[in-house]
Chains A and B, each alone.
Chain A
Amino acid sequence: MPDEQSTARILMVEDDAVIREATQLSLRRHGYDVVTADDGLEAVEAFDKHHPDAVLLDIMLPGLDGISVCRRIRETSTVPVVMVSARGDAVDVVLGLEAGADDYVTKPFDTQVLVARLRAVLRRATARGADGGYAMPHKPTESFGDLELDREALEVRRGGELVRLTPTELKLLLEFANNPGVVLSRSTLLQRVWDYEWGGDGRLVDVHLQRLRTKIGADRIETVRGFGYKLKA
């Protein structure tokens, strides 16, 4: 059943041969173009060679681990990364997200869940070019303190300097910009930014907000304890 991302190329990094082969077949059935790598170093090479649209990255890998691979990718690219958590431990997940991953799934995962996550990150990434609900009709540029947001070019400047955001970070910032001064709960953000209908891990929001704050200024987004976060105008 091909969908709007039918031509998207996924780099899958996984050291278990059965999971690698089965997931590859399964994703192909869902219409994705899949390239694979079975360890960290090979993953970095494959990333440079194939220019994938999204990366599915196992955290536990022989040699260079998934977290280091993710950091390497983030040095040059904002391509969405979905981590596959090997242990599901808090530390693993948080380290992966801090290294720049956009989302994660936990083994043993359901192919449906995996595809839903991939689809969501790809939608965020491709929305940069298309409209994707990002552009608000009224004002092309808005300012929040020293932060300038160009909704048409989808560019963010801080003190005149371009800030490079990943699609997830951008979507998160836009969600706040669409509701300035409004407190957005973790569940709301998980639903609107990550496309979780229900559930989702609150740490996704927390870690991404931490990363966003280091890029756009620590005080721009306030924490409202017990309720969520809001953007200061």
Chain B
Amino acid sequence: MGLRGKLGLIFLAVSTLAIVGLGAAVYTQAQSARLDRARSTADERVRAAAALYAEIGGPPQLGAQIDDPALPPELRSAIADGERVTLKTGSQLWAAQLVDGHTISVVYDYENSDESMDALERALLFGGIGTILGVGLVSVVAAGSLSKRIVAVSGTARQIARGELDASAVAAVGEGKDEVASLAKALDTMAASLRGQLDAERRFTADVAHDLRTPVTGLLTAAELLPPGRPSELVRDRAEVLRTLVEDLLQVARFDSGVERADLEQVELGALVSSAMGRLRTQQSISADDLRLDASEGVQVETDPRRVERIIANLVLNGLRHGGRPVEVTVTGRTVEVVDHGPGYPPELITEGPRRFRSGMAERGVGHGLGLTIAAGHAKVLGAELEFGTGPHGGAAARLELPEVPTDD
């Protein structure tokens, strides 16, 4: 049962109890007031009859009886000291007084209810039911608006979990002073702090990349000037690795700043991937056995060919470096699949996607070059889906699906 139902039931139960209790009290009070009035009437009558009997004797006046044999025994014993006493027994109301050893008494029929009591009963019953219904309705509405606010807060929390850190719970529930509003405020504060951390991480990436750029350029250019020989080769090789790393960091920083735009062109996906793989084989000296390609079933797509090439190249290089050979690339329609024969992607990469600088990810994803993070960044710019999963042989399998309609600038 939802919060709305629970709150509604609680309100209903509490109001029913209150109304039944109140009704019972009112009814009892009315009943006893009526009895008091009847008692004082009977008492007055017996007082008058007793006074007349004491003065003039003879049979009692005013409908009173003398030594009524039907007089209840407890009344008889109660009047012994000359007091007037009234007593209600069953449906009769007695009043009696002792005069010169004789009991003067009157008796009335006393019904527990009469018309006025019936009317009161009806009024209490209908009024009570009406009030309970009213309270029920109001409580359902009130609980509904409360639960709607809570649902809105949880909706915002889900948005934040999806990475929409600009979502505001306060905007969703409105300003207020209740607990829901304070929950919303707390959630917004949490999102802002996450945003701050993410911004700091992004700034760090960008700063590191920008600060490294100038010294690395100097190092690269100077390394070119070294005399030929093995030591120079080693320095140049490492300088080259450093350059790639800085370029990758800069690329990630550009994705973060959101300045990247797709440069769209009409291309045949199969042809694009095969020429890209041809270049990759040459550049990286990869044998045809290690990199297998089936690009026969591609279709015409409108996309940014340089980005597609970069994505596929990064996936292939990741497979060659961290997975197992051979790496198979298959083009089907507007989809490109890259599958290797290694141990597969780590589970957190499959569930959460690639993240920069993630600890425990040295095997994959980070390594040299932030390759998968960059592949995911390019895919996002293209509006393409890039999914990481497990292939038929248990190896890593990545699947790039280009959109029907590319995202436009």
Contact = CB atoms under 8 A, between A and B. Distances in A.
Interface residues of A, number: 31
A177 to B, nearest CB: 23
Given A26-B224, A29-B225, A16 B218 contact: yes
Nearest to A17: B218
A187 interface: yes
Contacts of A16: 214, 217-218
Contacts of A130: none
B305 interface: yes
B404 interface: no
Nearest to B212: A108
A87 interface: yes
A230 interface: no
B213 A187 contact: no
Contacts of A108: 213, 216-217, 220, 243, 246-247
Interface stretch (A88-96, A162-170, A207-215): A88-96
Contact of A90 (B247, B261, B264): B261
A29 B225 CA distance: 9
Contacts of A219: none
Contacts of A185: 265
B217 A89 contact: no
A90 B251 CA distance: 12
A106 B251 CA distance: 12
B259 A91 contact: yes
A229 to B, nearest CB: 12
Interface string B243-285: 1001100100010010111011110000000000001000000
Contact of B213 (A29, A86, A90, A227): A86
Contacts of A23: 221
Contact of A186 (B221, B246, B265): B265
B210 interface: yes
Interface string A80-109: 000000111111000000000000001111
Contacts of B263: 186, 201-203
A18 interface: yes
Contact of B218 (A22, A90, A198, A226): A22
Interface residues of B, number: 29
A90 B220 CA distance: 24
B22 interface: no
A202 B221 CA distance: 27
A25 interface: yes
Given A111-B221, A187-B265, A228-B265, A87 B210 contact: yes
Contacts of B222: 18, 22
Nearest to B262: A202
A86 B216 CA distance: 12
Contacts of B302: 226
A19 interface: yes
Contacts of A186: 263, 265
A107 B243 CA distance: 9
Interface in B175-226: 210, 213-218, 220-222, 224-225
A3 interface: no
A202 B307 CA distance: 12
Given A23-B221, A110-B220, A227-B266, A89 B259 contact: yes
A129 interface: no
Contacts of B217: 16, 19, 107-109
B225 A22 contact: yes
Interface in B381-395: none
Given A91-B259, A185-B265, A226-B266, A111 B250 contact: no
A88 B225 contact: no
Contacts of B122: none
A111 B226 CA distance: 13
Contact of B305 (A22, A109, A187, A228): A187
B306 interface: yes
Nearest to B250: A88
A199 interface: yes
Contacts of B264: 226
A91 to B, nearest CB: 7
A29 B224 CA distance: 10
B221 A22 contact: yes
A110 B240 CA distance: 9
Interface in A10-66: 16, 18-19, 22-23, 25-26, 29
Interface of B: 210, 213-218, 220-222, 224-225, 243, 246-247, 250, 254, 257, 259-261, 263-266, 279, 302, 305-306
5 contacts: A19-B221, A22-B221, A22-B222, A91-B259, A107-B217
A-B pairs, top 6 by smallest CB distance, nearest first, are A18-B218, A202-B263, A22-B221, A108-B217, A22-B222, A90-B259
